[in-house]
């Protein structure tokens, strides 16, 4: 089979699958909008990896906690729906739990953990992770912002089922 034949074969298969989904939606066998809604949410790969691995390591991914590089004192201050973390002479923002980066915005990182808690780290000066990267606990995910007095800080919000929760950070 030549390269062109392989391409045409794959193209025909994709066309057939797409055509099947459209036809099945038109004759009301499947609901395409329901399928779109289910596919638009982020799938939690950590649950799948933990289920496959069990007590073994079939999928060799290092999920162990990283040793924290922060030797200074960290202070936490309550803010609306979350916590402000104030760092003493330390600029790195460390992940509070193992998770997958599901969204990155200008100054924010969103990490989904194994228990479907969404950790929102905001007020970051820089972001040092990539989308869909597995982030271990205490792994550096970015650099904290500094106020006019030179104090480094960032905000953390935790959500589950689109509701803010307080995990006592």
Q: pLDDT tens across 110-167, in order?
A: 999 988 899 999 999 999 999 989 899 889 999 999 888 888 899 999 998 889 888 7
Residue whose C-alpha is closest to residue 87's, from 143, 21, 20, 166: 143
Q: In the prediction, which pLDDT does 141 show? A: 94
Q: b/e map of 117-130 (b: 16 or more CB within 10 Å)?
A: bbbbbbbbeebebe
pLDDT digits 0-9 by tens, 43-60: 676 777 777 777 766 566
Residue with token string 């905000």: 155
Residue 3: Cβ-neighbour burial (10 angstroms; 0-12, 13-18, 19+): exposed
Residue whose C-alpha is closest to residue 111's, from 133, 127, 92, 81: 133
pTM: 0.69
Distance of alpha carbon 8 from alpha carbon 160, whole angstroms? 45
The CATH code of the domain at 74-164 is 2.70.70.10
Structure tokens at 160: 């589950």
Q: Which band of pLDDT confidence, cut at 50, 70 and 90, is reported for residue 105? A: very high
Q: b/e map of 67-98 (b: 16 or more CB within 10 Å)?
A: eeebeeeeeeeeeeebbebbbeebbbbbbbbb
Q: b/e map of 35-62 (b: 16 or more CB within 10 Å)?
A: eeeeeeeeebebeebeeeeeeeeeeeee
The full set of domain ranges for the chain reads: 3-40, 74-164
């Amino acid at each position: 089979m030549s390269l062109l034949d392989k391409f045409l074969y794959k193209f025909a298969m994709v066309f057939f699958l797409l055509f099947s989904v459209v036809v099945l939606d038109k004759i009301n066998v499947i609901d395409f909008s329901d399928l779109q809604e289910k596919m638009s949410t982020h799938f939690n790969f950590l649950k799948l990896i933990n289920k496959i691995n069990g007590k073994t390591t079939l999928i060799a991914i290092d999920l162990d906690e990283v040793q924290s590089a922060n030797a200074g004192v960290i202070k936490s201050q309550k803010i609306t729906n979350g916590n402000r973390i104030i760092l003493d002479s330390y600029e790195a923002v460390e992940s509070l739990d193992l998770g997958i980066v599901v969204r990155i915005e200008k100054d924010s990182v969103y990490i989904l953990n194994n228990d479907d808690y969404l950790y929102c780290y905001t007020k970051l000066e820089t972001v040092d992770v990539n989308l869909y990267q597995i982030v271990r606990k205490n792994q550096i995910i970015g650099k904290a912002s500094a106020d006019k007095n030179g104090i480094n800080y960032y905000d953390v919000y935790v959500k589950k089922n689109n509701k803010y929760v307080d995990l006592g950070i």
